[in-house]
Amino acid sequence: MEIKTTDLSDAHPEVQVGEPLLRHFGGLGAFGGPIETLKVFEDNALVRTILEGPGEGRVLVVDGGGSLRCALLGDQLAALGAHNGWAGVVIYGCVRDTADLAGIALGVMALAPHPRKSIKRGEGARGLTLHFAGLTITPGHYLYADADGVIIAEQALA
């Protein structure tokens, strides 16, 4: 399926449309799939744990608290996610290794780049409903993203 959020939004006015806070960093300019959620703060150990598992076309949405003090994803974790079948990662926080991220077949969106790595304590929570960018992000719902933005639907859109 070709993902074009403008057409999907027009055809499905009930979808949520995210505020334009996130930038693209990954090698896929358009991506979508069922949502998996994670809430962490300046700690990416659980991001790795989740991306090590089978993605099955899902999108990992990470609420990093909007922190601009370190990155929660870099080239190694992005490559791991792409290898394991994740469609994308959306981070309410930062990423690093942006030149390399652009060459990895994974959708990646985040607030900004940051060179500092995160801590690794393994703290956080998986499977929560998240709230950022004007969105309510529920596990199992569907996220679609492209150059025009992010939308969320309760079910897959054809």
Q: Is residue 94 part of a domain?
A: yes
What percent of the chain shows pLDDT beyond 90? 98
Residue type, 61: V
The count of domains in the chain is: 1
Q: Is residue 158 part of a domain?
A: no
Model confidence at 158: pLDDT above 90:
no
Helix (H) or strand (E) holding 86: none
Q: What is the pLDDT of residue 1?
A: 67
Per-residue pLDDT tens digits for 74-97 = 999 999 999 999 999 999 999 999
Q: Is residue 9 part of a domain?
A: no
Q: Is residue 2 part of a domain?
A: no
Q: Is residue 1 part of a domain?
A: no
Q: Is residue 108 part of a domain?
A: yes
Q: What is the pLDDT of residue 47?
A: 98
What percent of the chain shows pLDDT beyond 70? 99
Mean predicted confidence (pLDDT) in 103-122: 97
Counting every residue written for the chain, the total comes to 158
Q: Is residue 60 part of a domain?
A: yes
Per-residue pLDDT tens digits for 49-63 = 999 999 999 999 999
Q: What is the pLDDT of residue 149?
A: 97
- Residue 14: both structure tokens together: 């009930």
What gap in Å lies between CA 148 and CA 140, rounded to an integer? 23
Q: Is the dihedral of CA 71, 76, 78, 84 positive or negative?
A: negative
Model confidence at 12: pLDDT above 90:
yes
**CATH number, residue 84:** 3.50.30.40
Which residue segment(s) compose the domain that 41 sits in?
16-153
Using an 8 Å Cβ cutoff, are 93 and 110 in contact? yes
Whether the predicted model's global pTM rises above the 0.85 cut: yes
Q: Is residue 70 part of a domain?
A: yes
